[in-house]
Structure 1
Amino acid sequence: MPRNKHPKKDIEDALQYAELQGWVIEVGGSHAWGRMYCPYNNKSCRCGEFCIASIWSTPKSPTNHARQIKRVVDNCTALKNANFEV
């Protein structure tokens, strides 16, 4: 079943980018619109939280939040290591 689209276009585009990289988007939660999870769930990942990022429904700047989402995806060390090992 496809997930619900994010109401902000910039953020939805960033979420689609994350999904193309293998990240899993879960909609819902207590305070956030959803969360995104790294497909590798690697304990040695740089963030120490196994690459979990919150997605806000109404950020102050949707463009900046979209950039932040892309930055999390692009800076994931587990993803970078997987690309080098291929």
Structure 2
Amino acid sequence: MARTSHPEKEIEQALKHAEANGWRIQVGASHAWGHMFCPYNDKKCRGGEYCRSPVWSTPKSSGNHARFLRRVADHCAAHQAAP
């Protein structure tokens, strides 16, 4: 089943980028729109800090939040170490 799209265009593009890199997007959370989950789920990857990243529904700056989400997906230590 397809997930619902994020209301902010820039954030939706960042989420599609993360999905293309194997990240799983789960919609629905208490204070967040959803969460991004790393495909590797490696505890050594940045101390587990980026194995789960919140996706805010109404961030102060949608452009900054979209860049943050792309940076999280692109700089995953386990992803960079994979062949």
Q: How does the TM-score come out when normalised to structure 2? A: 0.95
Is 1:5 matched up with 2:2? no
Output the aligned Cα RMSD.
1.0
| 5+ long unaligned stretches in structure 2 | none
Deviation at 1:48, TM superposition (A): 2.2
Match in the other structure for 1:57: 57
Deviation at 1:28, TM superposition (A): 0.1
Mapping for residues 24-63 of structure 1, pairs under 5 Å = 24-49=24-49, 51-63=51-63
| 5+ long unaligned stretches in structure 1 | none
Structure 1 stretches of 4+ moved >6 Å: none
Asked if the contact 2:50–2:76 (Cα under 8 Å) also holds between the matched residues in 1, the reply is no
Percentage of pairs with the same residue: 58
